[in-house]
Chain A
C-alpha cells in the first residue's frame, strides 16, 4: 500500500512541476513576441477582450476540472488539461483502454492504463499536427475537399455511437435514466445544442450518480 501511495504522489509532484512550467512558457509566448517585435499590448482593448472571453471560459474550465479529473486519473488529468481535446479524444481513449484491459478506473492498474492511453494519444495528436503543418500546402486541397466535410462534421456522433454501445450495454441499469433524461432535454429544449453539451456533462454526471446511489442502495446494481 505504501508503494501504491508513493507512485500516485510522484505523479502529482511531477504533474504539478510540468503543468506550472508549461503555464509559464505559454504566458511567455505573447511576452516574447511583444519584446521581439517591439510592441506593447493595447491594454485597454486587452481588458475589454478579456472581460468578454475569460469569465465564461474560466467557469467552464472550473466545471471541467471537477468533472473530468476523477474520470481521467491523476497522470491523465495533468496531461489532458495541457493538451486539450478531452471529451472528444482523451477521455474516450482512456475509457476504451480501461474497458479493453478490464481494469477498474479506481485501481492503480487503471491509473497506469489511462495514463498510457492518454499519453499515447497526446503524442500521436501532436505528431500528426506537426506533419499537417509541414505538409499544409499539398494537404489543404485534399482535406478541405467538400466531399470529406460531412465525415469530419459528424466525428462526435461517430465516436459516441461505438463508445456508447460498449459502455451502455455493460451498465444498462445505470444508463437508462440519464440517457432518457438527456434525450428528452436535448430534443425538446431548443437552447441545448453543440455549444451547451459541455455544460450538460456535469449535470448528467450528477444525475447519474444520484440515480446510481438509489439503485445501489436498493441492491439493483
Chain B
C-alpha cells in the first residue's frame, strides 16, 4: 500500500484510539456522578460544575486545535490529531518529531514528503518518550494518594494546608513565569526572540528583535484577567448576580485573551 501522511487508514487508527480515550473520560465521569449521588451531594451544584468545566475548556481547546493545524502541515492530520488528544503538546511533538527525523538525516518541515519508515520512527519516538506518566500513575498513584489520605487522618488541618501549598506553589511558579521577560525593560541583550525556521532543509535560528516593553504584554494580560476576576467576585456578592460564579474563570480567561490583542499592538 502506498503511504501518505493523510492516508484514510491513519485516520481510522487515530479515530479508534481517540474513541477509547473518550470512552475512558465518559466512564470516569459516570462513575464520579454516581458516587456524588450516593454521597448525597447537591446535584444542582454538580450540574454547575460540569457546565463551568465545559465552558472554561473551550478557549484552551481551540488553542490546541490551532496546534493541530500547525503540526498537520508537516506531519499530516491524523498524527497531531491523535497526539494532541492524548498526552503531549505542540512543543513536545515538534521536538520529538525533529529528533526522530534528524537521526534519519532529515529535517522536520523540509518540504519532502515523509516516507512510511520515517513516519513510523516519528511515531515511536513520540509515543515511547511520553509514555512514562501513563504507566507511572498506575504504578505509584495509589501510594501517593494513600499518603495524602493518611496525612488527612493524622492531621486534617495540616493536610488541607499541604494541598493548598501544592496549589499555591504551582500558581506562584506560573505567576513568576509571566514576568520572565520583564528584564527586557532594562537589559537590551534580552530584547530578541529566537525562531527556528527550515531553509532549504536546514534548520536556521533567526533572532528577531523585540521592543523593551514587549515583556510587559503577559504581565498586563494577567493584570486584566485578575481585575476581571476581582470585579466578578464583587458582583457575585449580590444575590441576583450569584450565577456569575459559574462563569467567573472563563470570563476572566477570555477577556484577558481579548485584551492581549490591543496590548500586543501597543507594547511590541
A in complex with B: yes
Q: Identify B137's interface contact among A69, A116, A194, CB under 8 A.
A: A69
Would A45 and B225 be within 8 Å (CB), given that A77-B141, A112-B32 are in contact?
no
B86 at the interface (CB under 8 A from A): yes
User: What is the predominant secondary structure among interface residues of chain B facing chain A?
Assistant: helix
Query: Which B residue sits closest to A210, measured CB to CB?
Result: B165
Contact in complex: A201, B258 (CB < 8 Å): no
Contact in complex: B60, A88 (CB < 8 Å): yes
Output the least CB separation between A5 and chain B (Å).
9
Assembled-state Cα–Cα distance A39/B18 (Å):
24
Query: Which A residue sits closest to B88, measured CB to CB?
Result: A84
Q: Identify A178's interface contact among B104, B172, B253, B261, CB under 8 A.
A: B172
The total of chain B residues at the interface (CB under 8 A) is 157
Contact in complex: B50, A112 (CB < 8 Å): no
Output the least CB separation between B120 and chain A (Å).
5
Q: Identify A160's interface contact among B35, B160, B175, B258, CB under 8 A.
A: B175
Most buried by B among A29, A53, A157: A157
Output the least CB separation between A47 and chain B (Å).
8
Output the least CB separation between B31 and chain A (Å).
7
Q: Which of A129-157 contact B (CB under 8 A)?
A: 129-133, 136, 139-140, 143-144, 147-148, 150-157
Q: Which of A149-208 contact B (CB under 8 A)?
A: 150-168, 171, 174-175, 178-179, 181-183, 185-188, 190, 192-195, 197, 200-208
Q: Identify A182's interface contact among B117, B165, B172, CB under 8 A.
A: B172
Contact in complex: A12, B163 (CB < 8 Å): no
Interface residues on A, range: 35 or more
Contact flags (1/0) for B251-268 with A, using CB distance below 8 Å? 011111111110111000
Q: Which residues of A contact B41 (CB under 8 A)?
A: 109, 112
Query: Which A residue sits closest to B174, measured CB to CB?
Result: A160
Would A119 and B260 be within 8 Å (CB), given that A33-B119, A57-B92, A62-B132 are in contact?
no
Contact in complex: B61, A165 (CB < 8 Å): no
Contact in complex: A158, B172 (CB < 8 Å): no
Contact flags (1/0) for B7-51 with A, using CB distance below 8 Å? 001100110111011101111110111011001010001101110
Q: Which residues of B contact A205 (CB under 8 A)?
A: 165-166, 169-170, 173
Contact flags (1/0) for B204-223 with A, using CB distance below 8 Å? 00000000000001110111
Query: Which B residue sits closest to A23, measured CB to CB?
Result: B134
Query: Which A residue sits closest to B176, measured CB to CB?
Result: A182
Q: Which residues of A contact B16 (CB under 8 A)?
A: 25
Contact in complex: B125, A53 (CB < 8 Å): yes
Would A97 and B130 be within 8 Å (CB), given that A33-B120, A112-B41, A126-B21 are in contact?
no
Q: Identify A84's interface contact among B86, B124, B260, CB under 8 A.
A: B86
Assembled-state Cα–Cα distance A26/B92 (Å):
16
Q: Which residues of A contact B167 (CB under 8 A)?
A: 71, 95, 105, 167
Assembled-state Cα–Cα distance A182/B172 (Å):
6
Contact in complex: A106, B68 (CB < 8 Å): no
Query: Which A residue sits closest to B219, measured CB to CB?
Result: A157
Contact in complex: B179, A45 (CB < 8 Å): no
Contact in complex: A30, B173 (CB < 8 Å): no
Q: Which residues of B contact A15 (CB under 8 A)?
A: 28, 137-138, 141
Output the least CB separation between A109 and chain B (Å).
6
Between A and B, 29 residue pairs with Cβ closer than 8 Å are A15-B141, A26-B17, A33-B123, A53-B95, A83-B25, A87-B170, A105-B167, A106-B148, A109-B36, A116-B33, A117-B49, A120-B50, A125-B85, A126-B18, A127-B22, A129-B68, A132-B65, A151-B260, A152-B63, A157-B178, A159-B253, A162-B253, A166-B249, A174-B164, A178-B168, A187-B182, A197-B177, A201-B169, A212-B165
Q: Given contacts A100-B48, A164-B174, could you give 11 more A-B pairs where the C-beta distance is less than 8 Å?
A: A22-B20, A36-B9, A49-B96, A96-B53, A119-B26, A122-B25, A148-B261, A163-B249, A175-B172, A181-B176, A193-B177
Across chains A and B, which 8 residue pairs bring their CB atoms closest together, nearest first?
A: A161-B225, A158-B256, A182-B176, A205-B169, A162-B252, A61-B132, A132-B65, A186-B176
